Amino acid sequence: MAIDRVLIAVGPNDRDHTDNLLDEALSIAAPWQATVYLLHVFPREEYNKLLEQMDFEPRSGGLQPDELASRYESIRTPAHKLDEKDIEYEIRGVIGDPSTEIVRVARELNVDRIFIGGTSRSPAGKALFGDRAQQVLLNAPCPTTYVQHD
């Protein structure tokens, strides 16, 4: 089975761990010369707050989620590394619930593999706060690689 498209879901807590996510993704994507999609999901409140900080009116449509994602250091760093390795990529930003949107975008782009990161949680922590990675793993339309960071 050929790998044509992979999705790397980069969250706000992945800033210090993008190297691990990228290395895992490239171990699959590079040999196949697959397109890499770097995705950041903005919860609505975060998106509006960031727009206001940049002096954009949230309802003006002045800065689309893709553009805002491309300004995130946690996206720019892996994008720069993909440039250096001459790997084709696209930056995607969407607004909504992260686990739901990661699965939706993966379906929309018809990706062959998803890469997500996260930390380990106790069962009580999962019950109390939820586990986005687990929701993606359970609902993903394709194989998903979970990269745990400390």
68 vs 119 pLDDT, higher one: 68
Tell me how far apart the alpha carbons of residues 108 and 128 are, in angstroms, rounded to a whole number: 30
Query: What is the C-alpha to C-alpha distance for residues 25 and 19, in angstroms, rounded to an integer?
Result: 10
Nearest alpha-carbon partner for 98 in 110, 106, 90: 106
Q: How many domains does the chain have?
A: 1
**What range defines the domain where residue 132 resides?**
5-148
128 pLDDT exceeds 80?
A: no
Distance spanning both ends of the chain, measured CA to CA: 32
Residue 115 CB coordination number (10 Å): 26
Tokens encoding 124? 């009580």
Would you say residue 123 has pLDDT above 80?
A: no
Cβ contact 122:90 at 8 Å:
no
SS3 102: helix
**What residue has token string 């290395």?**
23
- Residue 135, pLDDT > 50, answer yes
The answer to whether the CB of 25 falls within 8 A of the CB of 55 is no
Query: Mean of the per-residue pLDDT values for the chain?
Result: 88
Q: Lowest mean pLDDT of 14-18, 112-116, 133-137, name the range.
A: 14-18
Looking at residue 63, which CATH number applies to its domain? 3.40.50.620
Out of 24-28, 41-45, 60-64, 100-104, pick the least confident.
60-64
The per-residue pLDDT for 129 is 43
Percent of the chain with pLDDT over 70: 89
Neighbours of 111 (CB within 10 A): 26
Asked if residue 126 has pLDDT above 70, the reply is: no
Entry pTM? 0.89
